[in-house]
Amino acid sequence: MRDLTRIAAAPGRLTLGETPEGFDALVLADLARARAEGDAAGVIHIARDDARLASTEEALGYFAPDVEIISLPAWDCLPYDRVSPAPEISSRRMAALSRLVNRKVEGKPFILLTTVNAALQRVPEPDMVRRSAWSAHVGNRIDLEALTTYLAANGYDRTGTVRERGEFAVRGGIVDIFPPGFDAPIRLDMFGDTLDSVRSFDPESQRTTATLHGLDLVPANEIHLDSEVIRHFRAAYVATFGAATDRDPLYEAVSEGRKHQGMEHWLPLFHDKLVTIFEYLPHALVALDGLAEESKAGRLELIRDYYEARVAAREIKTVEASIYKPLKPEALYLTEDDWQAALGGQRSVRLFTAFSAPDSERNVVNLGGRQGRNFAPERAQDGVNIFEVLGGHIAGLRKAGKRIAIASWSEGARDRLSHVLGDHGLKHIALAESWVDVNAVNKATVSLIVLGLEAGFETNDLAVISEQDVLGDRLIRQRRKKRAENFLREASSLSPGDLVVHVDHGIGRFEGLQTIEVNGAPHDCLLLIYHGGDKLYLPVENIELLSRYGSDEASAQLDRLGGTGWQARKAKLKSRIREMAGELIKIAAARELKTAPVMEPQPGLYDEFCARFPFQETEDQEQAIEAVLEDLARGRPMDRLVCGDVGFGKTEVALRTAFVAAMAGYQVAVVVPTTLLARQHYKTFSTRFQGLPLKIRQMSRLVSTKDMSETKAGLASGDIDIVVGTHALLGKAIKFKNLGLMIVDEEQHFGVGHKERLKQMRAEVHVLTLTATPIPRTLQLALSGVRELSIIATPPVDRLAVRTYVSPFDPVVIREALLREHYRGGQSFYVVPRITDLADAQEYLANYVPEVKTITAHGQMAAGEIEDKMNAFYDGKYDVLVSTTIVESGLDIPTANTLVVHRADMFGLAQLYQIRGRVGRSKARAYAYLTVAPNRTMTPAAEKRLRVLQSLDSLGAGFTLASHDLDIRGAGNLLGDEQSGHIKEVGYELYQEMLEEAVAALRGGGAGEDEEGHWSPQINVGTPVLIPESYVPDLDARMALYRRLSDVETRSEIDGFAAELIDRFGKLPEEVEFLLKIVEIKGLCRIANVERIEAGPKGIVMSLRDNTFPNPAALVELINDERGNAKLRPDHKLVFKRDWETPAERLAGTYRLMRTLAGMVPAKAA
């Protein structure tokens, strides 16, 4: 590169021409290195937006691992918003500012990456960031109360279990904190008031991962809410807006020391002084990306617009709009003059541009880079093989003596590309894990690297080709830890008021956890209320006898304790379930006897078709595709159900299946329930199969009669290979010449007649069924082996997570949200809970947002009318669809990226997930506004639901949660409608369990020992059995632990559970030790068939289940050996005489005795 030291050091402005995106990262790294050699203070790079910041950060990490990168993101909310920036963003900002003030300058190359939005916003001064740090080392004395106060004042949220950055939890002498800038949370373990240990731990399992010597903390927020700051804010607020602070929620909340949603937008009132980010690095070189100046002009205009909208709204004085007093823009943001001053004077400023400028021009240096070749023209041509074109291009680059790298978005995509290029005869390909590897190989070798470049670039001696240049738009799935299971675990813990089913006593209501005295010792029990107010106390160690009733609780009736109704109902249902299971198995067996065409993919062509897929496959998706390919090759009719939410990639499974069938010479029919879905699928299939020798047609009521007749004739003659249509395809008049595969989307939406027709066809051809209705996890088990099932529950490619806001209804915010979507050319959903709310919503939109065109739909309209309205919305004739929850589950409208939910507190969690899943299906950032009534208090349960939804921006977790918690009606159709009635009788979880057992028993050829699992030994030895509140203060956490204990059986599992408790909550109290020992004894009792134990100071009495012991001869021998200290009473109870002085001795003695009895049971019987 030309004279880089001079370019890096020269003061004033300089334009660096011929630096396209991608290449600019290499230039930035070289500038940082040159500045470091001259002892200058690094580089500030200002990207136009968040997406550009992320891609530059990734590119720098790959090209220049020796350069230190600090990333400062902007707030992820609008100027003058009612919501705060996401805790994750606030944490990252404070971590960046802290690293800047504590950075040791040692000649190491360094770049601060930020965006225009972040650079335009004022920040707390460096002294404040330094002063607000907290640090401690092992052996230091710590005031726990002072630490808790510090965390609360500095933006950390107190929770029961720490999972997110910016959270902390205190349990006795243990403090868990997830600080900004850390990859894992930290656990401080106190011994008295001394810091005993500092450990990092895994937020998923809560287990320790590493030991540290100390901890340095920075605030999680730019506002430090202590008494001095609160006084400062109150005085500044009154000075700015006057003394009228009555019913001002912001002023009242801060005055009481509480956080208030959106308070960061008044940041200047909390600080003596704010500064610019440029003041943190007064001597750094500033590099602006090519569009930063344009982006800055747009942002300043936006800030002014939002400020004026707030000022105007205060003058309208609506009932709904609560008080919002905006600060003048210059208080929080830089003005144009401030910006010019910051970048003026002697500061070195470099402007990147991809274009070349005449060398004669002053202050311009061309660096010799240019954009790489884009293969879009060749992709658009029929019959052109893109990989052959790529091979030719690479040959030309080799001839020119250039080093060549091809950048793929993921490991999987790179491997796939490597195979395809090899198939097309490309030699000398190497997988390179780093930029050093790329430079180490000779120039004839093409290096395949993993780097998310949107476009390639070339220089005189280097060519980097991006996968996107070759294959078109790509998106990448972010690495995201599995958090779904943890939320599932917590969501499935019982709450007071929930309906539960006790396996022996039937449906009752769970009223809470109560500690009662049993033989003088405290024992935690679950209190269940039955018909007539009867109470049942269930010991926590027997919690597995309970299952949740399910979500349709309104129609359920409580059983009578001790009545016969429950047992009769259960017995009757058991025989019906067995019949149903038999029917399912018969269907599966009949299918095994039939034959169907064997279809196998053509290796080269199939790989190329797969390479057209613009995303990385998820693990679930790959498994589903492999399963389908195996099914097609077996020669038996396939009947596979693929279940996964919209956008999870079911359609890709269908496309690949259709490709294999059609290329094998068979016709493919794709059947969908609505014309809108028919259009969507037709469009998708036509695009993906472009350039292949296959004819695709559409059949629905929107197609002309002439086209329909031609399509019918083409199907009969075999001229048409793939047809996409509604139930019209199932008519008797439709004849196929050689139908080999039928793909059915959302089968549950078809009528009875069409379902029967599908049933007939299943026996003759391969059938692939797709559904977006979540299938309960327990039902997946029941169905396995009966109907082939593939679940795609992994989150889809990350099309920018849906940014979710929960706030009181604010007309200004909603107007801004809908207009922002409208002006960027998109559409919005406005969802209300009841049909009666539609009129209010329409009135609000007409008065407040007259610029948008709206259309209304609800479930009581005729099916044809709903379909026509949905089609009109899909075609972009309207901007906003106002509807109840009928927003179609299979709907994929990429242009709809804003969702407003009115009175979100009236929806269930699963419902909200399903609704939110309708937006966020394109590259545009999607927004979901969950609004609640401004002056109404929400129930704690509703608040928790909304909080969980806001924190979980991953659709995958939502889908798993929905499948776990969804009302059974959605899945009822999988086995027939009869199922829904069965569920009401015994509750959802127990029903699934009974069905699974019946299927397993019939498959095993027996009548089924289905009662075997439904008993739980009762053990009373007079020791305390509970998790004390002082040990685990949070009730939800205690209930979740009790639920998990019911799944623990073996000694190793109990040890693992105990280790987790010690890690999370500290040393085990005696009561918990006793509880774990009881759980272990319970497992031994099940082996030895002991259903009840009563132990006292003089011995123990045991009741055998069904009065039988698995090894009678060994038992007789034991009684003889005890010489008068043991006997079998006439009532078949076992008695052992002992002399136990304390409850602890009784427990230890009982354990030893049960080990002996369980050890006598032959392995097969156990």
Please, which pLDDT band fits residue 420 given cuts at 50, 70 and 90? Answer: confident
For residue 841, give the nearest of 898, 902, 896 by alpha carbon.
Answer: 902
CB atoms under 10 Å from CB of 127, counted, come to 12
More confident of the two residues 965 and 852: 852
- What was the pLDDT predicted at 1166? 54
Lowest mean pLDDT across 89-103, 548-562, 620-634: 548-562
**Alpha-carbon distance 1149 to 1095, whole Å?**
9
* Whether 826 contacts 925, CB under 8 Å: no
* pLDDT given for residue 481 in this prediction: 35
**CATH of the domain spanning 134-217:** 3.30.2060.10
Distance CA 50, CA 118 (A): 10
pLDDT tens figures, 857-888: 887 787 678 878 888 898 889 999 999 876 65
Which of 146-150, 549-553, 901-905, 998-1002 is predicted least confidently?
549-553
The burial of 546, by beta-carbon neighbours within 10 Å (0-12 exposed, 13-18 middle, 19 or more buried), is given as: buried
* pLDDT at residue number 320: 42
Report yes or no on whether pTM surpasses 0.75: no
> Where does the chain hold its CATH 3.30.2060.10 domain(s)?
134-217
Report pLDDT for 968: 33
Mean pLDDT (whole number) for 700-716? 89
C-alpha 489/C-alpha 445 separation (Å) is 51
Please give the Cα distance from 910 to 914 (Å, whole number): 6
The DSSP string of 748-771 is: GGS-HHHHHHHHHHHTTSEEEEEE
Whether the predicted pLDDT of 803 surpasses 60: yes
Mean pLDDT of 35-50: 85
Mean pLDDT lowest among 123-137, 244-258, 726-740, 1096-1110: 244-258
Count of CA atoms in the C-beta half-sphere (13 A) of 397 = 26
884-903 residue pLDDT tens: 876 655 567 888 889 999 98
Whether 493 contacts 475, CB under 8 Å: no
> Percent of the chain at pLDDT above 70?
84
Q: How many Cβ atoms sit within 10 Å of the Cβ of residue 135?
A: 10
Residue 942 has a pLDDT of 65
Burial class (CB in 10 A: 0-12, 13-18, 19+), 107: exposed
CATH of 4-125+267-366, one of 3.40.50.2300, 3.40.50.1100, 3.40.50.11180, 3.40.630.40: 3.40.50.11180
**CATH number attached to the domain at 594-791:** 3.40.50.300
Q: How far apart are CA 676 and CA 871, in angstroms?
A: 6
Confidence band for 748, pLDDT divided at 50, 70 and 90? low
The per-residue pLDDT for 1060 is: 80
Residue 362 has pLDDT above 80, yes or no: no
What pLDDT shows up at residue 937?
A: 63
DSSP track, 414-456:
HHHHHHHHHHTT---EEE-SSHHHHHHS-TTSEEEEE---SS-
Cβ–Cβ under 8 Å, residues 724 and 681: yes
Please state the φ and ψ torsions of residue 508, each to the nearest 5 degrees. Answer: -135, 175
Give buried/exposed letters for 799-831 (b at 16+ CB in 10 A, else e): bbbbbbbbbbbbbbbbbbbbbbbbeeebbbbbb
Bridge partner list, 447:
405, 430
Q: What is the CATH number assigned to the segment(s) 803-953?
A: 3.40.50.300
- The per-residue pLDDT for 943 is 67
> Is pLDDT of 440 > 80?
yes
- Tell me the two tokens of residue 238: 């009154």
Domain with CATH 3.40.50.11180 in the chain: 4-125+267-366
Average pLDDT over residues 673-697: 88
Which tokens sit at 784? 């396995």
pLDDT given for residue 645 in this prediction: 67
Radius of gyration of the chain (CA): 34
- Residues 651/653/657/662 CA torsion (nearest 10 deg): 30
Residues of the chain with CATH 3.40.50.300: 594-791, 803-953
Cα(767)–Cα(1084) distance, integer angstroms: 48
Q: Is 679 left (phi over 0), alpha (psi -120 to 50) or beta?
A: alpha
Type of residue at 615: F
Lowest mean pLDDT segment, chosen from 19-28, 267-276, 864-873? 864-873
Model pLDDT, residue 944 = 60
Residue 460 has a CB neighbour count (10 Å cut-off) of: 10
**pLDDT value at residue 1118:** 92
Which residues are CB-contacts of 478 (< 8 A; sequence separation ≥ 6)?
Answer: 798
- Does 670 score more than 80 pLDDT? yes
Output DSSP code: residue 384: -
Residue 171 vs residues 109, 494, 523, 1031, 1042: alpha-carbon distances, Å = 43, 22, 22, 7, 18
Q: What is the pLDDT of residues 228-243, one digit of tens each?
A: 999 999 999 999 988 7
Task: At 514, give phi and psi (nearest 5°).
Answer: -130, 140
Predicted local distance difference test score (pLDDT) of residue 936:
65
Average pLDDT of 521-541?
90
Among 3.40.50.11140, 3.40.50.10860, 2.40.50.140, 3.30.428.10, name the CATH number for the domain at 372-471.
3.40.50.11140
H/E run at residue 201: strand 194-201
Check residue 983 and give its pLDDT. 58
Q: What is the pLDDT of residue 1165?
A: 56
pLDDT (0 to 100) of residue 235: 93
d(CA 138, CA 228) in angstroms, rounded, equals 30
Residue 988, pLDDT score: 57
More confident residue, 956 or 554: 554
Is 384 or 1069 the better-scoring residue by pLDDT?
1069
Mark out the alpha helices in 834-904 (DSSP H runs): 838-848, 863-874
Per-residue CA distances from 816 to 82, 311, 851 (Å): 12, 14, 11
- Is the per-residue pLDDT at 728 higher than 60? yes
CB within 8 Å of 124: residues ≥ 6 apart: 97, 222, 267, 271, 274, 275
What per-residue confidence (pLDDT) applies to 891?
A: 67
C-alpha distances in angstroms, 608 versus 286, 573, 728?
Answer: 44, 52, 33
pLDDT at res. 321: 45
The whole-number pLDDT of residue 784 equals 53
- Chain mean pLDDT for the chain: 82
Residues in the chain: 1166
Q: What pLDDT was estimated at residue 984?
A: 60
Phi, psi at residue 520, to the nearest 5°? 80, 5
Query: Could you tell me the pLDDT band of residue 413, with boundaries at 50, 70 and 90?
Result: confident
Residue 897: phi and psi, rounded to 5, are -130, 15
Cβ-proximal residues to 823 (8 Å cutoff; 6+ apart), any chain: none
Tell me the pLDDT tens digit for each residue of 539-583: 988 888 887 776 555 667 888 888 888 888 888 888 877 777 777
- Cβ-Cβ contacts under 8 Å for 682 (sequence gap 6 or more): 696, 698, 724
Distance CA 895, CA 278 (A): 38
For position 520, what pLDDT does the model report? Answer: 82
Q: How confident is the model at residue 627 (pLDDT cuts 50, 70, 90)?
A: very high
pLDDT 10s digits, 444-492:
899 999 988 888 999 989 999 998 888 876 544 333 333 334 444 444 5
Q: What residues contact 340, with CB distance under 8 A and at least 6 apart?
A: none
The model's confidence at residue 964, banded by pLDDT at 50, 70 and 90, is: very low
Residues of the chain with CATH 3.40.50.11140: 372-471
